[in-house]
């Protein structure tokens, strides 16, 4: 079963008071290209994430984003030495300058150095198992979407190839009709020369083989996008040769249809893994 290179997958993860989510997006690309968007301090996880992705994705431009939506509350402490210094100086100043009023708690905690806020540290060794579970779920979701689009693409590609076989048959029949008419009007030598110049049996045979191979690969269980793209190029080459050898209205029309189908197949191959 072929896979599209376009997909999206997401999953949440939880580890104690820490919560987050993993998002994976993929689009078509010639090779596997991964872009990471990770929280500060998470970059050491890149290699582990890459290994997980490579087990399931062979081609595509992949964007992976990890976001922390909730973590343990920051610890807050009051620096009593600093507070005592502020209050002592307040009393001295009030007495010296004969001032009234007292520092309120709100005013006191706003003073520099009174409150120490220490953000909780995220320990990757503790978080990784939870992140890994979320990553696996996101990959499963992404792969499912890529497979669904792959099924749709394969269905349409089979229709295109079936239509191509009909056009190939038309060209074969037209070739026979042309030769039958010319044989009656030409000498043996003239007919042999004409038959040789008109002969497209080799090109039609190769084109038929390419169509059969393309259809076979649509059921493959491995990445075949590059092979399909190559076959599409070869199909185009054969169709061009047939069109140049047989200057006939019926054949020209069939070749135009063939080229149209081949172009669609080549476009589809660009998004197949």
Same domain, 168 and 204: yes
| Domain CATH number, residue 66 | 3.30.230.10
Angle between helices 124-185 and 46-54 (to 10 degrees): 40
Residue 26 lies in domain: 7-72+121-145
Q: How many domains does the chain have?
A: 3
Tell me: the pLDDT tens digits for 85-100? 988 888 888 887 888 8
User: Which residue is listed with tokens 């070869």?
Assistant: 234
Same domain, 26 and 139: yes
Long-range contacts of 203-206 (CB under 8 A, 24+ apart): 203/238, 203/241, 203/242, 203/245, 204/168, 204/171, 204/172, 204/238, 204/242, 206/234, 206/238
Q: What pLDDT is attached to residue 105?
A: 84
Q: At 143, which helix (H) or strand (E)?
A: helix 124-185
CB 57 within 8 A of CB 7: no
Q: How much of the chain, in percent, has pLDDT values that exceed 70?
A: 98
Same domain, 90 and 38: no
pLDDT tier for residue 128 given thresholds of 50, 70 and 90:
very high
Residue burial 89-110, b: 16+ Cβ < 10 Å; e: rest: eeeeeeeeeeeeeeeeeeebee
Same domain, 34 and 97: no
- Tell me the pTM: 0.75
Residue 234 lies in a domain: yes
Looking at the predicted structure, is the pLDDT value of residue 119 above 80? no
């Amino acid at each position: 079963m072929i896979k599209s290179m376009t997909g999206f997958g997401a999953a949440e993860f939880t580890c104690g008071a820490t919560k987050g989510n993993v998002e994976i997006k993929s689009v078509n690309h010639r090779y596997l290209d991964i872009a990471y968007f990770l929280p500060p301090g998470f970059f050491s996880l890149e290699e582990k994430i890459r290994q997980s992705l490579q087990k399931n994705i062979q081609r595509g431009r992949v964007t992976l984003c990890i976001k922390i939506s909730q973590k343990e509350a920051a610890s807050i402490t009051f620096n009593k030495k600093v507070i005592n210094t502020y209050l002592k100086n307040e009393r001295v100043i009030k007495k010296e300058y004969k001032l009234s009023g007292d520092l309120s708690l709100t005013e006191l905690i706003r003073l520099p150095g009174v409150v120490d806020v220490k953000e909780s540290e995220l320990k990757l060794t503790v978080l990784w198992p939870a992140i890994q579970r979320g990553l696996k779920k996101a990959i499963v979701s992404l792969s499912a979407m890529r497979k669904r689009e792959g099924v749709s693409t394969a269905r349409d590609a089979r229709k295109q190839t079936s239509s191509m076989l009909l056009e190939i048959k038309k060209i074969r029949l037209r070739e026979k009709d042309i030769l039958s008419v010319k044989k009656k009007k030409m000498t043996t030598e003239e007919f042999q020369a004409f038959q040789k110049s008109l002969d497209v049996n080799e090109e039609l045979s190769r084109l038929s083989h390419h169509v059969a191979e393309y259809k076979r690969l649509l059921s493959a269980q491995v990445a075949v996008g590059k092979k399909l793209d190559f076959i599409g190029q070869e199909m185009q080459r054969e169709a061009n040769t047939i069109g140049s050898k047989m200057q006939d209205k019926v054949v020209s029309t069939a070749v135009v249809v063939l080229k149209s189908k081949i172009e669609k197949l080549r476009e589809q191959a660009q998004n197949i893994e």
